[in-house]
Amino acid sequence: MKKDKSNEGINNQNGSSKDIMMHRVNQVFDKMAEDVRGMVGENNSRKYKR
């Protein structure tokens, strides 16, 4: 299985690979939560404009 370029050098960083993976998961989760908040905000503003 090929590694993608975003995973290159993961073993050269300080910290365990589990910590690095959890950091990435948290970054993705935070981005998704921000996007959902934006969508909910747009939906609410449309609802009140009617």
Q: DSSP secondary structure string, 17-43?
A: HHHHHHHHHHHHHHHHHHHHHHHHHHH
21 pLDDT higher than 90: yes
pTM reported for the whole predicted model: 0.54
Q: Which residues contact 11 (CB under 8 A, 6 or more apart)?
A: 17
Residue 15: the pLDDT is: 72
Average pLDDT, the chain: 79
- Per-residue pLDDT averaged across 2-21, rounded? 66
Q: How confident is the model at residue 2 (pLDDT cuts 50, 70, 90)?
A: low
